[in-house]
Amino acid sequence: MPGTSSGADTKAEDDLMANKDNCGGSWARKAGAIAVIVGAVAATSFAVVGGDQGQRDRGSAQSQQEYTIENFLTRDLTYAATPNEANDKRWERIQSQIGKRAPEFRVGEWKSGDEDLKGGSIESMRGEIVVINFWGTWCPPCRAAMPRNTEIARKYVSKKVRFVGVCNTRGSETMVETAERHGGLFATAADIDDATRTAYGVQWWPYYIIVDREGIVRAAGLRPNMLEEAIDRILAIQPYVPEDETTAVGAASSR
């Protein structure tokens, strides 16, 4: 239970060219040969460019294939794990969220009990994997999950995984006090008029969503005990490569 995606024509032309002894015939032969060479070069160039593009397209297609429901967000990771009429509807809603660009947050000021764990806009966090925890101050399972969520936030921050909380509008006036009392030191902000909750299609509390490094929603409705499994799966597809390593690889390839 919850907390609360032909040969004959060619020969005839050759015979005709062979019978011409004037300068025009010689020029025509040369022109024909040049045309053949230019055509071959153009075709080769097109094939090379097309091949590079094809490799990029295949790579993108492979990445998308890895993100399929069967390969990435398997149903067992979510609160809709057990097939029944209610969970089937929940699972359909979860699948409808996957593969879409993550909506921007509409929240108040970010608060954090750990200076290394910060919030921000979805756009400002592009290049990071973002785990969003929708929670409420009035929600016992949300409060109970806070210490573990702080551990997860700290564990993955070095891999450019950002963990943020969006507190339900109702009861958000005690957000900071509640988070501190229950060990929620990750960055959290109060939803404004439930706008963020509505944009992300939150179905229960707590509700977890993962956004990839390109700003695309890849997981939703996750069970708290499956968060690390989902994070590890997305890191396998989008690993973090430190900037100094990226620079070194780029320099080596340009030599």
HSE-CB at 66 with a 13 A cutoff on CA atoms is: 13
Mean pLDDT over the full length of the chain: 81
Coil, strand or helix: which one is 209? strand
Architecture of the CATH domain 75-239: 3-Layer(aba) Sandwich (3.40)
pTM: 0.74
- Amino acid identity of residue 72, one-letter, is F
Query: What pLDDT is stored for residue 49 in this prediction?
Result: 38
Rounded Cα gap, residues 217 and 16, in angstroms = 67
Q: Kindly list the domain boundaries of the chain, sorted by start residue.
A: 8-63, 75-239
Is residue 109 pLDDT above 60, yes or no? yes
Q: Rounded to whole angstroms, what are the CA distances from 221 to 115, 156, 207, 217, 226? A: 28, 20, 6, 11, 10
Q: How confident is the model at residue 232 (pLDDT cuts 50, 70, 90)?
A: very high
Tens of pLDDT, residue by residue over 10-40, are 443 344 333 433 333 443 444 444 333 334 4
Higher pLDDT, 32 or 165: 165
Coil, strand or helix: which one is 216? strand
* Tally of residues, the chain: 255
